[in-house]
Amino acid sequence: MTDPPHRILYAVIELRRLTKRYGDTLALDGLSFAVEPGHVTGFLGPNGAGKSTAMRLILGLDAPTSGQALVNGRRYALLSKPMREVGALLDAGAVHPGRSAYNQLLALARSNDITPTRVAEVLEQVGLAGVARKRVGGFSLGMKQRLGIAAALLGDPGVLIFDEPVNGLDPDGVRWIRDLMRSLAAEGRTILLSSHLMSEMALTADRIVIIGRGKLIAATTIAGLTARYPSLEDAYMSLTAGSVTNGAAR
Amino acid sequence: MKAILSSEWLKLRSLRSTYLLLGLSLGAVLIGLGLALMAADMYDSAPPERRPSARIADLEEVLVILPQLCMGILGALTMTSEYATGLIRTSLTVVPRRWPVLAAKAAVVGLLGLVVGPATVFGTYAASRWVLGDRFSGAYATALLEKLPILTAISLTVPAFALLGLGLGALFRSTAGAIALLAGLVYVIPMIIGNVPEPWSERLGSIMIGALPHQITGDGNASSVYGSLLPPAAAAAVLVAYAALPLLGATWLLRRRDA
């Protein structure tokens, strides 16, 4: 089940002048950055900055207007068993309420030739083993977040992408995610994590990418930012001051 | 492809709505049985001199609408429920080539239709035949072998509907839109076509799904409410087109649209 370590070591996300236009809206404007393995990289930006759009483009869900998004040096759409290389949680609510947690995961697992044993393993890992046969419709947002994380972990991938995974979690769950992210990074994996919770991000991430209006504002380490600003929050506020928009990109 | 097929098969059988629609489809057999019992009772209580002129509709042909609609809705839901919940983005993320997802859905709902269609049509016919015996001038007493082609042709409209529903669901990405068009094709459009001036009424009527089985078997039902202008091969091609064209269009769009 575990991938050979060399794949994890070289796992990397790379955006090259990525541009995405939806009608009149320029959601991404020549965005370039790289996410390196062995770290939790926090992905920050005001609402509508293009974080979710960037993640959708990395995962091949939307096609770029120009530029490239590469995972392990290749376009995501060219991966044949993508769950074994990239795990993603974009929207924890994106599950059929009538299906059980186990069946939801097993259906995903089967599509990438992942065994039922692994499904049981990840359910155990995220603490949902006891409710695996229950319909997802009755789950709290926190439980759905755990289910989404379980889905991302199914293929034991070297690259993990999480969009706002701490939304709706209780303090216990927030700490659990923090520890999970850090231990996944310590195993040499590449973690890209978006969140609006600055204090939480300061505790979880060691590198930070900040974007605004579809452009890169900063790509640095937490240490580099907190050396120049009183806190990550102050750094974020000051760096994104000119980029706060009220209209979401999509 | 085998992996994606088993994934889609699990998705289909892990939802209650699938069993509900299967049950409703098979309900056609029970309704047929009930109607046949009522008809037999009426026939037996009619004065003997009026019996020779008594007629009965082909129950399996009337009641096939039920499995047609149910399997069409099932086909549509397999796609539209994923759009409604957002699950489609996960499905397309784990299968980035995309078209195998739609192909696997087509295979599983098509196969289910291929089982449900004959089960309901032959089931309804068998129940009616068993109840009615040689009543109604032997309408249900013809040799089984003679009925085989038409019963088969009617049965095949059910998988065609399942694939049509899936295709419409994938095109519209909305349950309401897909089901409205599906129901429109069965009820509304044939009524409108019936009121169009000739020769267009008969021309258009001939390509309605309900008109196809008798044209496929070539037993040109003159009393048909539809038209019957098509030779068997052309009628079969039209049935295949109903199933395949929306799916092909949807596959093309699925590969190009942002998810």
Q: Residue B143's pLDDT is what?
A: 87
User: In the predicted model, what is the mean pLDDT of chain B?
Assistant: 93
- Confidence grade of residue B236 (pLDDT, cut at 50, 70, 90): very high
Pairwise CB contact (< 8 Å): A96 & B6: no
Nearest-Cα distance to chain A for B101, in Å, is 9
Name the pairing type of β-strands A74-75 and A25-35.
Answer: unpaired
- Confidence grade of residue B224 (pLDDT, cut at 50, 70, 90): low
Boundaries of every domain in chain A: 1-85+158-250, 91-156
Which positions 96-135 of B are in contact with A (Cβ < 8 Å)?
Answer: 96-97
- Residue B255 touches chain A, beta carbons under 8 Å: no
- Confidence grade of residue A249 (pLDDT, cut at 50, 70, 90): very low
Pairwise CB contact (< 8 Å): B7 & A108: yes
Q: Residue A198's pLDDT is what?
A: 87
A139-163 average pLDDT score: 95
Of A235-239, B40-44, B74-78, B144-148, the range with the highest mean pLDDT is: B74-78
* For chain B, percent of residues with pLDDT exceeding 70: 98
User: In the predicted model, what is the mean pLDDT of chain A?
Assistant: 91
Q: Residue B43's pLDDT is what?
A: 92
Greater confidence (B187 vs B83) lies with B83
- Confidence grade of residue A248 (pLDDT, cut at 50, 70, 90): very low
pLDDT at A149 over 90: yes
- Confidence grade of residue A250 (pLDDT, cut at 50, 70, 90): very low
B182-198 average pLDDT score: 88
A122-147 average pLDDT score: 95
Pairwise CB contact (< 8 Å): A91 & B89: yes
**pLDDT tens-digit series, residues B155-183:** 999 999 999 999 999 999 999 999 999 99
Q: Residue A11's pLDDT is what?
A: 47
Say how many CB pairs under 8 Å bridge A and B.
80
A25-54 average pLDDT score: 94
Pairwise CB contact (< 8 Å): A94 & B85: yes
**pLDDT tens-digit series, residues A72-127:** 999 999 998 999 999 999 999 999 999 999 999 999 999 999 999 999 999 999 99
- Residue B6 touches chain A, beta carbons under 8 Å: yes
CATH 3.30.70.1450 given to domain A1-85+158-250: no
Q: Residue B138's pLDDT is what?
A: 86
Nearest-Cα distance to chain A for B51, in Å, is 52
Using DSSP, state whether A188 is helix, strand or coil. coil
A contacts of B1 (beta carbons < 8 Å): none
Nearest-Cα distance to chain B for A230, in Å, is 39
Which tokens belong to B43?
């026939």
Name the pairing type of β-strands A159-163 and A86-89.
Answer: parallel
Which tokens belong to A4?
């050979």
B contacts of A94 (beta carbons < 8 Å): 85-87, 89-90
Nearest-Cα distance to chain A for B70, in Å, is 19
> Taking Cα atoms as reference points, which of B250, B252, B92 lies closest to residue B169?
B250
Residue entry with tokens 């929050």:
A233
Q: Residue B220's pLDDT is what?
A: 64
- Confidence grade of residue A17 (pLDDT, cut at 50, 70, 90): very high
Lowest mean pLDDT among A241-250, B63-72, B160-169: A241-250
Q: Residue B235's pLDDT is what?
A: 95
pLDDT at A168 over 90: no
> Taking Cα atoms as reference points, which of A195, A157, A209 lies closest to residue A15?
A209
Q: Residue A1's pLDDT is what?
A: 45
Pairwise CB contact (< 8 Å): A88 & B259: no
pTM of the model: 0.92
Boundaries of every domain in chain B: 2-254
Q: Residue A7's pLDDT is what?
A: 46
Pairwise CB contact (< 8 Å): B10 & A60: no
B68-87 average pLDDT score: 96
- Residue B85 touches chain A, beta carbons under 8 Å: yes
Beta strands in A5-84 (DSSP E): 13-22, 25-35, 40-44, 66-71, 74-75
pLDDT at A131 over 60: yes
Q: Residue B190's pLDDT is what?
A: 87
Own/partner contacts of B248-255, CB < 8 Å, gap of 24 or more, are: B248/B167, B249/B167, B249/B171, B250/B79, B250/B102, B250/B166, B250/B167, B250/B170, B250/B171, B251/B99, B251/B102, B251/B103, B251/B170, B253/B170, B253/B171, B254/B98, B254/B99, B254/B101, B254/B102, B254/B170, B255/B98, B255/B99
User: Which ranges of chain A would DSSP assign to H, the alpha helix?
Assistant: 5-10, 51-58, 101-111, 116-125, 141-153, 171-186, 198-204, 222-228, 232-240
Closest chain A residue to the Cα of B100, Cα to Cα: A111
Nearest-Cα distance to chain A for B82, in Å, is 7
Q: Residue B218's pLDDT is what?
A: 87
Pairwise CB contact (< 8 Å): A61 & B258: yes
Of A59, A94, A113, the CB nearest to B86: A94
- Confidence grade of residue A196 (pLDDT, cut at 50, 70, 90): confident
**∠A178-A179-A180 over CA atoms, to 5°?**
90
Pairwise CB contact (< 8 Å): B96 & A106: no
**pLDDT tens-digit series, residues B112-129:** 999 999 999 999 999 999
Q: Residue A244's pLDDT is what?
A: 73
ipTM: 0.90
Pairwise CB contact (< 8 Å): B10 & A106: yes
Check if the beta carbon of residue A216 is closer than 8 Å to that of residue A32.
Answer: yes
- Confidence grade of residue A246 (pLDDT, cut at 50, 70, 90): low
**pLDDT tens-digit series, residues B47-64:** 988 888 888 889 999 999
Q: Residue B137's pLDDT is what?
A: 87
Q: Residue A4's pLDDT is what?
A: 47
d(CA A78, CA A86): 12
Nearest-Cα distance to chain A for B10, in Å, is 6
> Taking Cα atoms as reference points, which of A203, A128, A189 lies closest to residue A155?
A189
